[in-house]
Amino acid sequence: MSVIRNTQSISAGEPAKALWMSTIAFTLCFAVWTIFAIIGIRIKQELSLNEAQFGLLVGTPVLTGSLVRILLGIWTSRFGGRLVYTITMLAAAVATFLLSYAHTYTQMLIAGLGVGLAGGSFAVGVAYVSPFFPAEKQGTALGIFGAGNVGAAVTKFAAPFVLIAWGWQAVAQIWAVGLALMAIVFWFTTTDDPAFCLRREGKLASKSLAQEFVPLKNVQVWRFSLYYFFAFGGFVALSLWLPRYLVGVYGFNLEVAGMVAAAYSIPGSIFRAFGGVVSDKKGARSVMYVMFAVAAAATLILSLPAAGSGAAIGITPGIFIVVIFALGFVMSLGKAAVYKHIPAYYPESVGAVGGIVGMMGGLGGFILPIAFGLLKDVTGLWSSCFMLLFAIVVISLIWMHLSVKQLDRQGLSAQAVAAT
């Protein structure tokens, strides 16, 4: 049962306001989190960085933004999402602004650690938004919030024009000012979430730090983390990897490859909201089954070599783009479905559990591109990245199915299984 049912102090318009302000804030946070995808190219040229140094520069915000999610999620439960969200945005804005004054590689890496805080805002938003809504609407609400991933496309489309006109430093400064202004607007237009209000009033017991971590001992949490490692981490990894893949395999020029990657990012983010609606209506587990089934078929097809490579069966550019977009679509549904599970199973620990699941998803976005590159170097096959994703999908699907069967044997009703 959602915590919102336990308080009458919340007005009718507050849930919608909290949801939409959080979503706009997360969109800007995600735009800042992915800023190195654009300005990093110019920085690489100016500092004459090698590929390893460039990869670390681009990956540092992704890594730190993932690792900090569990801590921010717990802080949200303890101190309230409104305060933690605002401070997180302000801290990330300061780091991003200071980035524009960095001159050495070391200084930029240090600034990148602070920029990464923007990515940690996801865990804050999940723990802040979910208490405003009853269980039957949380999938939709968190799906809408998660659509803020579209901020990555905002940076890919807008930042190049700012960079060309005024330099990469202007991109950092403008993005920082925008995020700081959003933090101020967020603070003055939102209210504390119901769960925090109940704890502050003594109507809901506060947990110790040790108690916050208790649910993480449950294997189920790590199963959800694997789902999100694929659904979110795989999606981010493919967004980063697609330009290189299309250039290397099909000979696309960089501009076209970049536009395809940006186009892949937008629907994959927006349809997350649709995934939340479907999860509420049909059950998150049903959505997960569909996601894994389609993803398994898609990654198996994409594991085939490209047309013209000499293989008997090859994937043409047209087929590749259709299948990769289908894969991105079901991944967006899966991202929403995973987070529908969390408040249903762990209503009193959304911050901690949402934080660890989000952290693992973010780590997927950091680890998988590296794995893709290593597999390409070892095997010589560009399609080896999809072989790895296929293996992750199959393992996740088998693990989920066995867990469902175990729940059935323990006596859960068919309705409960379908709903969760």
Q: Do domains 11-206 and 215-420 have the same CATH topology?
A: yes
**CATH 1.20.1250.20 describes domain 215-420:** yes
CA distances from 20 to 17, 144, 148, 210, 267 (A): 5, 8, 10, 32, 19
Task: Write down the mean pLDDT value for the chain.
Answer: 84
The answer to whether 378 touches 300, Cβ cutoff 8 Å, is: no
| Block residue for tokens 């309705």 | 415
What's the pTM? 0.77
User: Does the structure show a pLDDT above 50 at 414?
Assistant: no
Of the candidates 120, 4, 147, the one whose C-alpha atom is nearest the C-alpha of residue 354 is 120
d(CA 247, CA 227): 29
d(CA 331, CA 234): 8
Three-state helix/strand/coil letters over 94-116: HHHHHHCCCCCHHHHHHHHHHHC
The answer to whether 89 touches 121, Cβ cutoff 8 Å, is: yes
User: What is the fold of 11-206?
Assistant: Growth Hormone; Chain: A; (1.20.1250)
User: Of all helices (H) and strands (E), which one includes residue 167?
Assistant: none
d(CA 119, CA 61): 8
User: Does the structure show a pLDDT above 70 at 378?
Assistant: yes
Residues with Cβ within 8 Å of residue 165, at least 6 apart in sequence:
none
- What confidence tier does 7 reach under pLDDT thresholds 50, 70, 90? very low
Q: Where are the domains of the chain?
A: 11-206, 215-420
CA distances from 132 to 13, 27, 232, 351 (A): 10, 20, 24, 14
pLDDT tens profile 325-348: 899 899 989 988 898 888 778 877
pLDDT tens profile 132-173: 888 778 878 888 898 888 887 788 778 888 988 999 999 999
- What confidence tier does 196 reach under pLDDT thresholds 50, 70, 90? confident
Q: CA 56, 62, 65: angle at the middle one, nearest 5?
A: 130
